Amino acid sequence: MEKEINKFHALQLFTDTFSAETVHLTNEAVGIYIRLLCFSWTKNTKPFKTESAYRICQCTNVNCNRKVDKVLEEFFIENVEDSSWTHKRLTHEHQYLTNKYRVKAEAGRKGGLAKSNNATSKTLPLPLSLNPIPKSILESPFDQFWNTLKTKKGSKFLASKKFKVHCSDLDPVELAEKFNRYSATVKDIEFLAHVSTWINQKRFEDEENNQSLKTIEPEIFYEDIKLKFTGQFGEHMEYTDNDGGKYKKHKWNGEPIQKVA
C-alpha cells in the first residue's frame, strides 16, 4: 500500500478571518489553535482524536488539557459517533485544492497525449481557468454572521449553538449589523453582552427602526468613591473621580480597580 503523505505543505491560513476570530484569545490559546490547525493540515484534514490534540500541544497536565478542550470546542467540529474532530474551513480548502490539481493533472495528461499523437501539431489545449470557490459557499450562515461582527465577545462555540436555535431563518449579515449597532453604544467592553447571551435573549427583536438599544451601564466605585469612565488605553480601562484622581483596571485579568494618581 502506498504511504500517504501530505499533499499540500502550505497551510491555507486566511489572516483576516483568523485575526478576527482569535482576538479574544490569550497568546497561549492562539498557539494551541495554530498547532492544531497545522496538525490537521498535515493529516490532510482527516478527523483526529482528542488524545492526539493533547499530544501535539505537548500537554502534561489537566490544566493544559482543559485549554486544548476549549479551543477544540470553539473552532473545531466534533463527530459524536467516534469523538473525533475536524476543521470545516480547512476541509473545504483541502478538498478545493485537491480537485483543482486533479483537474490540472488530467489536463496535462491529455496535453501530453495530444503532443505524442501529433508531434507536428501546433494546436495545444487551452489552459484551464479555475475560479476560486465563492466565499458565500464556504461560509455557513453563522460564519457569515460571526465574520461580520466588529466586536466578538464570548465563546464562538456557544454563540453558534444559540444561533442555530434562534436565528436559522434570519439574514446573518443583517443580524450582525444589529449587534454592531448595539455594541457601538457600550463604551466599556466589560459591560458588553456576550454574543451568545445577546442571541439567547433575542435582543435583536427589541431593536426599533434599526436604532440601537440604549444600555444603562452600572456605576463604578473605588472605596465608595464614584468614578467616571474616560476611555480604553491598551490593556486597561481608565477612570477619574471628581477631584481629578486617576484610576485604571485591566480588561481581562480580573484584578480590582487600582488608583494611579
Summarised one tens digit per residue, pLDDT across range 197-255 is 999 999 998 754 345 445 556 788 888 888 888 888 778 888 898 988 898 888 777 78
Radius of gyration of the chain (CA): 25
Q: Report DSSP state, residue 255.
A: P
| H-run or E-run covering 136 | helix 135-138
Sign (positive/negative) of CA torsion 48, 32, 144, 168? positive
pLDDT at residue 122 greater than cutoff 60: no
Q: pTM to 2 decimals?
A: 0.39
* Residue 87 to residue 49: CA distance in whole angstroms: 13
Residue 124 has a pLDDT of 55
Task: Return the DSSP state at 208.
Answer: B
**CA 142, CA 161: separation in Å to the nearest integer?**
9
Mean pLDDT of the chain: 82
Residue-wise pLDDT tens digits, 151-162: 999 999 999 999
Exposure of 240 by Cβ count < 10 A (0-12 exposed, 13-18 middle, 19+ buried)?
A: middle
Supply the DSSP symbol for 220. Answer: E
Q: In the predicted model, is pLDDT for residue 58 greater than 50? A: yes
Predicted pLDDT at 189: 87
The helix or strand, by DSSP H or E, that contains position 258, with its residue range, turns out to be: strand 258-259
111 has a pLDDT exceeding 80: no
226 has which bridge partners?
221
Comparing 98 with 182, the larger pLDDT belongs to 182
- Residue found by looking up cell 442555530 in the block: 164
Distance CA 181, CA 175 (A): 10
- CA distance linking residue 175 with residue 49, whole number of Å: 35
pLDDT of residue 91: 82
Which residues are 238's β-sheet partners? Answer: 231, 248
The pLDDT of residue 210 is 45
Cell output for 85 = 474532530
> Binning pLDDT at 50, 70 and 90, where does residue 129 land?
low
Q: Of all residues in the chain, what percent carry a pLDDT higher than 90?
A: 33
Dist CA 227 CA 202 (whole Å): 32
Q: What is the pLDDT of residue 39?
A: 85
- Taking alpha carbons only, the member of 183, 179, 185, 180 closest to residue 202 is 179
Find the angle CA(154)-CA(16)-CA(168) to the nearest 5 degrees.
50
